[in-house]
Amino acid sequence: MGTRHRAPSTDTDWVLSATWHDYQLTADSPIHPIVSTHPRPRPLQVDLHEAMEVGIMLRGKQERHYPDWKLDLTAGDVWLQPMWEPHAWRPVVPDTENIVLIFLPEFLGEEKLGDVSWLTLFATPPQHRPWVRDDALRAKVFAIGRELAEEIARLEKGWLMAVRLGVLRLLFLLSRHWSPPPGSVGASRIGANTLSRIMPAIALIHERRPGTVTVTEAAAACGLSRSRFGSLFRQTMGSGFGHFSLRARLGYTAHRLLTTSMPVEAIAQNAGFVDGSHLHRTFVKHYGCTPREYRARQGEV
């Protein structure tokens, strides 16, 4: 059965909790592997973290939600998650098992997948990223997932290199019959060094309240002109700085709604929205519910 793509759900169970994860990755410890089994279905969990993510389904069924996209994943399916992209997930059948690799871009470095940088696979909207399209590829992905899970369980000498090579092989298989969407000019030139050039702007967004960093400040933090910064940012992250900043502001808002008792108007101001009405309209568009409905659902978890 192939991966099914649908519009995001607006059911009452959409977006019940939000979690910020700090995996404390460093140059000496650039990856955080997770092999997990979920014994029962659970509500959607919204996550946000400052690292790349690759996941492989090993058993069961999982949903993954994005502001305007949804995936139904089964054994042998895979997902790719870029840095700072809010996403929601949940296992929907008992004993769902998957492997998730959270890593810094430096873990894969400047590797190329043929003529395409591996970062290109992440720097596109979710609906345009490479997914498992047929049973032959699904079988290969599943085998890689099991090999990676075994390496992580044993932690024998050289396991980190084995995981790195496994991830590169997986990304190569995904890229083999995939092309970047129209308009991805220069995508093949994306690399870890390109990403490092815009990282000061990304760090600035999350050091300060989202929405308080202008594009001029972001460009200055990177030592680039506005036009050069805008071009590099879109090329590397798959969206403009304004859209990326909006995603961060919405992630901040969701987290504050569920972890504080601050009034919605105050959260809107802190997140850089004009007022509560502006936040209301934007939140409904991206999450399918109002900020107050989102907060009220916390008690349903």
Q: Is residue 183 part of a domain?
A: no
Instruction: Extract the residue ranges of the chain whose pLDDT is less than 70.
Output: 1-20, 67-68, 182-193, 195, 206, 209-211, 238, 297-301
Same domain, 61 and 161: yes
The predicted pLDDT at position 137 comes to 96
The predicted pLDDT at position 57 comes to 98
Residues 6 or more apart whose CB falls under 8 angstroms from that of 67 comprise 8, 86, 247, 250, 286, 287
Residue type, 96: T
Please state, in angstroms and rounded to a whole number, the distance separating the CA atoms of residues 265 and 200: 30
Same domain, 9 and 145: yes
Tens of pLDDT, residues 199-213: 788 778 767 766 678
Same domain, 113 and 223: no
The predicted pLDDT at position 127 comes to 84
Same domain, 68 and 153: yes
Same domain, 143 and 285: no
Q: Is residue 121 part of a domain?
A: yes
- Tokens representing 201 are 């702007």
Same domain, 149 and 74: yes
Number of domains in the chain: 2
Same domain, 171 and 197: no
The beta strand positions in 75-229, using DSSP E, are 78-81, 87-91, 96-103, 112-113, 116-117
Q: What is the 3-state secondary structure (H, E, C) of 31-87?
A: EEEEEEEECCCCCCEEEEECCEEEEEEEECEEEEEECCEEEEEECCCEEEECCCCCE
The predicted pLDDT at position 100 comes to 97
The predicted pLDDT at position 216 comes to 93
Same domain, 215 and 99: no
Same domain, 224 and 287: yes
DSSP designation for 223 = T
> pTM of the full predicted structure?
0.72
Same domain, 102 and 207: no
Give the domain extent around 41.
4-175
The predicted pLDDT at position 19 comes to 60
Q: Is residue 72 part of a domain?
A: yes
CATH number of 200's domain = 1.10.10.60
> Residue holding tokens 């059911």?
11
Tens of pLDDT, residues 154-186: 999 999 999 999 999 999 999 998 887 766 544
Q: Is residue 185 part of a domain?
A: no
Element spanning 4, H or E: strand 4-6
Q: Is residue 180 part of a domain?
A: no
The predicted pLDDT at position 190 comes to 59
CATH number of 70's domain = 2.60.120.280
Same domain, 112 and 202: no
Same domain, 158 and 259: no
